[in-house]
Amino acid sequence: MSKESMSKGRKHGGRTRLLGVIAAAALAATTPAIAAQATAAQATAAPAIAEPATAAHATAAPAVAQPSNAALRQVMFVGNNWDGTADVIAASGDFARIGRVNVIPDREERLWEIYLNPVKLAYFLGIRSGPGEGHDQFVDDMFTTPDGTAVVASRPSFADVVSIDLATGRIRWRFPVSGFRSDHMAVSPDGRRIAVSASTSNTVHVLDIATGRQLGSFATGDKPHENVFTDGGRHLWNMSIGEVNTALDDPVFDFTKGDRRITVVDAGTFRQLKVIDMRQRLDAFGRPDLSDALRPVAFTPDESKLYFQVSFHHGFLEYDVAADRITRHKELPKNPATSEDRTTWVNDSRHHGMAMSPAGDKLCVAGTMDDYAVVVDRATLREGPLVPAAKPYWATVSGDGRSCVISESGADQVTAIDFATGRKIVSVPVGDHPQRVRVGHVPTGWTGPATG
């Protein structure tokens, strides 16, 4: 692959992270009252989120999804983070675009609420200049309800989770998370519960997907990120990534990145079962040079092995769950056009995105800062052909299990890659800065909400 083809179309904004740190420091310095207000706000956050919906939203639409007798169609939802929309595409075949959902129909209401509160405004602007790369983050993750009548999405800049009615485009319920930013989610195998990371309060909330009612929560390491249900939904894993929005990316400043760990809880009682510190496992494996901040992960179908990416690294590692140790490491090619200046990499990510084939024999990896995606044979760890991609930010499995679908955030498109051959099948245009891609369901014949 040529330098030109690997770097073409990139929309980098990672250099704004230092500006975000400076802006946050300036805000703290010029408005001392904000720090005290933030502390008070955090102290009262838990009671504030007891009601899953605002009064306005509680009366605007039914709180509980009504069962649908209509047949459902499997689709994929693509979250356009900077747009505040979700494109709905076919889950296999030509992956053609079916419709679009506005995930921020209450935008004006939320902005009034933010701009009238100096603490919320400080965090809102910090998200824009930090993880948002100069943009607001309006949709991060999303899952549909089991009956296919609503999509539930996390909205980082609005620090909440909302349920959007797919027939009307209106909000059914809204759940403000503790703290000031919502992030990655996970859905339980039965589709009835969602877990959402509240990244500034080091908390994971677990909600009833139909009503938005909080079922429980648990504490995590610093900046909770990825969530995964395991063991048929009985356990819930959270990976915390620590501080990724500062320019202190040199390894000598690793101590500033915070408490990074895996927290495993009982998904019914939310009791902590295990804490896994990958720093110890990485050191024992002979790789003290690698960060212990876990990014996207992928379990084997039998959940015996965990594959994970870490900050600043162009590759991934294999972890044996039962043996509690790292067993293999795969280093993937570097793009010679990619700067080695870590502060230019988006939110400490060099590679960000992994998906496991249904058979468990292939891994699909998004080489975010290196502008490619690649399918890796799990038995041999041999990579296939590098597929050029513009800042690929996520990887997931198509509805039929034959393809890996990546989001190209630098080209505003999603691309399907054949697991068998490792070669590109098709690319489909979507909205501004696609990130998370999830399989879901909509009623057969659905082409978008009646009102957006």
Query: For 281-293, what is each residue's pLDDT tens digit?
Result: 999 999 999 999 9
Mean pLDDT of the chain: 87
CB distance 307 to 356 below 8 Å: yes
What pLDDT does 451 receive?
60
Q: At CA 215, angle to CA 211 and CA 220, rounded to 5?
A: 125
User: Is the pLDDT reported for residue 64 higher than 80?
Assistant: no
User: Is the pLDDT reported for residue 14 higher than 50?
Assistant: no
Section 408-435 average pLDDT: 98
Q: Quick one: tokens of 126?
A: 């910090």
- The residue type of 310 is V
- The residue type of 359 is A
Nearest alpha-carbon partner for 24 in 247, 261, 352: 247
What pLDDT does 243 receive?
83
* Stronger pLDDT, 255 or 317, i.e. the higher one: 317
What pLDDT does 20 receive?
42
What CA–CA distances, in Å, run from 218 to 9, 232, 374, 414, 442? 40, 19, 35, 34, 31
Q: Quick one: tokens of 221?
A: 């390491």
Q: Is 70 left (phi over 0), alpha (psi -120 to 50) or beta?
A: beta
What CA–CA distances, in Å, run from 133 to 137, 198, 213? 9, 19, 32
Section 289-302 average pLDDT: 95
What pLDDT does 1 receive?
52
User: Is the pLDDT reported for residue 228 higher than 70?
Assistant: yes
CB distance 88 to 442 below 8 Å: yes
User: Is the pLDDT reported for residue 53 higher than 90?
Assistant: no
User: Is the pLDDT reported for residue 3 higher than 90?
Assistant: no
How many Cα atoms within 13 Å fall on the side-chain side of residue 84?
19
Structure confidence by residue, pLDDT tens digits, 170-209: 999 999 999 999 999 999 999 999 999 999 999 999 999 9
Domains and CATH numbers, the chain: 3-11+20-443 (2.130.10.10)
User: Is the pLDDT reported for residue 75 higher than 90?
Assistant: yes
* Stronger pLDDT, 198 or 63, i.e. the higher one: 198
* Stronger pLDDT, 421 or 50, i.e. the higher one: 421
Structure confidence by residue, pLDDT tens digits, 436-451: 999 999 999 999 998 6
What CA–CA distances, in Å, run from 438 to 5, 76, 120, 248, 398? 27, 5, 29, 33, 9
Other CB atoms within 10 A of residue 48 CB: 10
In whole angstroms, what is the distance from residue 288 CA to residue 63 CA?
A: 50
Three-state secondary structure along the chain? Answer: CCHHHHHCCCCCCCCHHHHHHHHHHHHHHHCCHHHHHHHHHHHCHHHHCCCCCCHHHHHHCCCCCCCCCCCEEEEEEEEECCCCEEEEEECCCCCCEEEEEECCCCHHHHHHHHHCCHHHHHHHHHHHHCCCCCCCCCCCCEEECCCCCEEEEEEHHHCEEEEEECCCCCEEEEEECCCCCEEEEEECCCCCEEEEEECCCCEEEEEECCCCCEEEEEECCCCEEEEEEEHHHCEEEEEECCCCCCCCCCHHHHHHHCCCCEEEEECCCCCEEEEECHHHHHHHCCCCCCCCCEEEEEECCCCCEEEEEECCCCEEEEEECCCCEEEEEEECCCCCCCCCCHHHCHHHCCCCCEEECCCCCEEEEEEHHHCEEEEEECCCCCECCCEECCCEEEEEECCCCCEEEEEECCCCEEEEEECCCCCEEEEEECCCCEEEEEEEEEECCCCCCCCC
In whole angstroms, what is the distance from residue 430 CA to residue 77 CA?
A: 10
User: Is the pLDDT reported for residue 30 higher than 80?
Assistant: no
Section 393-398 average pLDDT: 97
Q: Given pLDDT bands bounded at 50, 70 and 90, which one contains residue 245?
A: confident
Q: Quick one: tokens of 118?
A: 């100096």
What pLDDT does 167 receive?
97
What pLDDT does 60 receive?
35
User: Is the pLDDT reported for residue 255 higher than 90?
Assistant: no
Section 357-383 average pLDDT: 98
Q: Given pLDDT bands bounded at 50, 70 and 90, which one contains residue 362?
A: very high
Section 17-35 average pLDDT: 37
Q: Is 61 left (phi over 0), alpha (psi -120 to 50) or beta?
A: beta
Q: Which residues contact 76 (CB under 8 A, 6 or more apart)?
A: 88, 89, 90, 91, 95, 396, 398, 399, 405, 414, 437, 438, 439, 440
Which of 17-31, 45-59, 242-256 is the most confident on average?
242-256
What pLDDT does 68 receive?
46
Other CB atoms within 10 A of residue 382 CB: 9
State percent of the chain over pLDDT 70.
84
User: Is the pLDDT reported for residue 24 higher than 60?
Assistant: no
Q: Given pLDDT bands bounded at 50, 70 and 90, which one contains residue 158?
A: very high
Structure confidence by residue, pLDDT tens digits, 335-351: 999 999 888 888 888 99
Section 259-273 average pLDDT: 96
* Stronger pLDDT, 2 or 298, i.e. the higher one: 298
Nearest alpha-carbon partner for 124 in 248, 263, 22, 20: 20
Structure confidence by residue, pLDDT tens digits, 120-154: 999 999 999 888 889 999 999 999 999 999 999 99
Q: Given pLDDT bands bounded at 50, 70 and 90, which one contains residue 244?
A: confident
Looking at the DSSP bridge assignments, the partners of residue 89 are 76, 97
How many Cα atoms within 13 Å fall on the side-chain side of residue 367?
25
- The residue type of 353 is G
Q: Given pLDDT bands bounded at 50, 70 and 90, which one contains residue 165?
A: very high
User: Is the pLDDT reported for residue 5 higher than 60?
Assistant: no
State percent of the chain over pLDDT 90.
76
- The residue type of 268 is G
User: Is the pLDDT reported for residue 6 higher than 50?
Assistant: no
* Stronger pLDDT, 450 or 91, i.e. the higher one: 91
